[in-house]
């Protein structure tokens, strides 16, 4: 037997994305967004209502998407609870420092090791921000011996929409484009 839950945004694993933007004075801001994801090799959509972040994106047509990790979970949740419209010291309180992306006018949060640097392509249906990923930068501390991102060193967190929890990613269970071949 299966139980029906109606129309719900239940998709697992759901990443926790931290959207970085600059305001009109070059002040950095960050917000937490769970509703979004990759929609192509170099495209991402984030579904957002009106926030300081969306004001900033419309201003500079740019944003960064950093992946929240277990180490910075509290700060990542904080930037989803408090608006930069009301809290001047939002970034300081989160303990986040920033460096401007070399590719778009948007801040990279130094503390979060994996960042997608995006140019706004368009806003769909008034609230779905489609960005083109123009660069990805990764802190060397989470790179493995092969020079690529290592999930042994980087601990992204997952958002549980049902019970509003954050979870760690689990262990590797298989090989993509390979293990399925056993059934060919």
Ligand X SMILES: Cc1cc2nc3c(=O)[nH]c(=O)nc-3n(C[C@H](O)[C@H](O)[C@H](O)COP(=O)(O)O)c2cc1C
Interface residues with ligand X (CB under 6 A) are 29, 31-35, 47-49, 51-53, 77, 80-85, 159
Instruction: Give the nearest distance from C-beta 63 to ligand X in angstroms.
Output: 10
Cis peptide before 143 (omega within 30 of 0): no
Least distance (Å) between residue 161 CB and ligand X: 9
Q: Which is nearer to ligand X, 48 or 109 (CB)?
A: 48
Q: Judged by CB, which is closer to ligand X: 42, or 87?
A: 87
Compare residues 19 and 104 and give the one whose CB is closer to ligand X.
Answer: 19
- The C-alpha atoms of residue 115 and residue 126 are separated, in whole angstroms, by 25
Cβ proximity to ligand X: between 30 and 149 the closer is: 30
What residue is closest to ligand X based on CB?
A: 80
Q: How far is the CB of 44 from ligand X (least distance, A)?
A: 12
- The least CB distance from residue 145 to ligand X, in Å, is 33
């Amino acid at each position: 037997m299966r139980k029906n839950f109606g129309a719900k945004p239940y998709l697992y694993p759901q990443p926790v994305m931290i959207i970085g933007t600059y305001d009109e004075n070059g002040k950095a801001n960050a917000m937490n967004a769970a509703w979004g994801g990759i929609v192509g090799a170099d495209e991402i959509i984030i579904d957002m209502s009106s926030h300081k972040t969306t004001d900033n994106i419309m201003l500079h047509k740019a944003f960064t998407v950093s992946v929240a990790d277990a180490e910075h979970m509290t700060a990542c949740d904080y930037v989803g609870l408090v608006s930069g419209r009301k809290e001047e010291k939002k970034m300081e309180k989160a303990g986040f420092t920033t460096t401007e992306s070399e590719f778009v006018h948007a801040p990279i949060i130094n503390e979060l090791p994996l960042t997608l640097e995006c140019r706004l392509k368009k806003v769909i249906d008034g609230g779905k921000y489609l960005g083109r990923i123009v660069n990805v930068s990764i802190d060397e501390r989470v790179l493995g011996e092969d020079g690529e991102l290592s999930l042994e060193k980087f601990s992204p967190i997952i958002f549980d929409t049902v019970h509003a929890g954050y979870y760690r990613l689990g262990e590797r269970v298989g090989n993509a484009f390979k293990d399925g071949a056993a059934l060919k």
